[in-house]
Amino acid sequence: MTRSPKLDVHGKPLLPGVDDDAVDTYRMPLMEHLSELRDRLIRALATLVVTCVISMVFSDEIWAFLVKPMNDALDATGRGTMAMTTATEGFVTTLKVAGLSGLLLASPMIFWQVWRFVAPGLYPKEKKPILPLVLSSTLLFAAGAAFGYYVIFGFAFPYFLHFAGEGVQAMLSIESYLGMVTKLLLAFGLCFQLPVVVYFLARIGLIDAHDMLHSFKYSIVAMFVVSAMITPPDVLSQLLMAGPLLLLYGVGVIIAWIVSTKKRGEPEPDPA
C-alpha cells in the first residue's frame, strides 16, 4: 500500500526530509508577512515602554550603580565630585538612564519577537544552533561588561584622576560620564563576542584552527591595539584587557577546530 505524502498548509506535498514546520509550510502572502511584522513590532515596543517606565521608577538606584566606580575613585583621590553643568542635565541624564536600562530589560522580548518572525523561514537544521548561540552571545556580552565594570574601571578611573595637577578639583559632568561608561561597557561586551564571531567564520568556511594558530602572533598585536584603544594608556590596564581576549582566542581555536567547514587541498609532494 502506497503511503500518502505529507501536505503543507496549501495542500501541496512536502519535500522529502522536510518536516511540517519547515519553510514550505509557512509560506504566506506579502501582506500577511507585513501584518505579522507589525504585530511583532507593536509587542516589542509595548514591552520597551513598560520596561522604560519601570526603569524610570528605579533610575536613582541604577544611576548610583553606574556612578559608583567614579565616586569611589573621587573619594580615594580627593580630586573632585560629579556635577551638573546645565540646568537640564540631570533630567536628560535620568531619561537616558531609564532608556538604556529599559532597552536592556526589554531585549529578551525584542529578540524573541524577531526570532518568532524569522524562525518559520528556517529549516530545522538551521534553527538548531540559534538558541545556543544566542545564549552564548548574551553570557559573553554580560561577562565583558562585568569585567569592564568590576575590574577595568577600578584601575582606570583613579589613573585618569591622577593626571590633574596639584590643587585642581575635577567637576565631572554626569551626562558625559554616562556617555563614556555606556561606550566602554558596550566595547567590553563586544570584544567578548570573539568566540561567536569565530564560530560564524568557521561555519562558512573562511577560517579553521590552522589559520588561527598560524596567525596567532598577528592576533596578539591586534588584541593589544584593541586593548589600548578602549582602556587607559597604561600597561596594567592593557594587560588586564588583553588577557581575557587571549583566553577567548584560545577558545575560538577549539571552536574552529570542531565546526569549521573549510576544505584544504592535498599537501604538495616534497620535490626531493
Which pLDDT value is given to residue 165?
64
Nearest to 253 by CA among 190, 203, 199: 199
Which pLDDT value is given to residue 143?
93
Which pLDDT value is given to residue 128?
79
CB burial of residue 33 (10 Å; 0-12, 13-18, 19+): middle
Which pLDDT value is given to residue 8?
46
Nearest to 85 by CA among 191, 184, 177, 174: 174
Which pLDDT value is given to residue 32?
78
Which pLDDT value is given to residue 117?
84
Which pLDDT value is given to residue 64?
95
Pairwise CA distance, residues 29 & 33, whole Å: 7
The residue extents of the domains of the chain are: 9-166, 193-262
* 165-170-175-180 Cα dihedral, nearest 10 degrees: 40
Mean pLDDT per 10-residue run, the chain (272 residues)? 48 49 56 84 95 96 94 84 89 95 93 85 76 88 92 84 73 91 91 91 88 89 84 72 89 91 63 48
pLDDT digits over 4-51, tens only?
555 444 444 544 544 444 545 556 666 777 888 899 999 999 999 999
* 220-222-225-231 Cα dihedral, nearest 10 degrees: -80
**CA quadruple 220, 224, 226, 231: dihedral positive or negative?**
positive
Angle subtended at Cα 124 by Cα 119 and Cα 128, rounded to the nearest 5 degrees: 85
Which pLDDT value is given to residue 25?
53
Query: Which three cell numbers mark 155?
Result: 584601575
Query: Which three cell numbers mark 203?
Result: 561555519
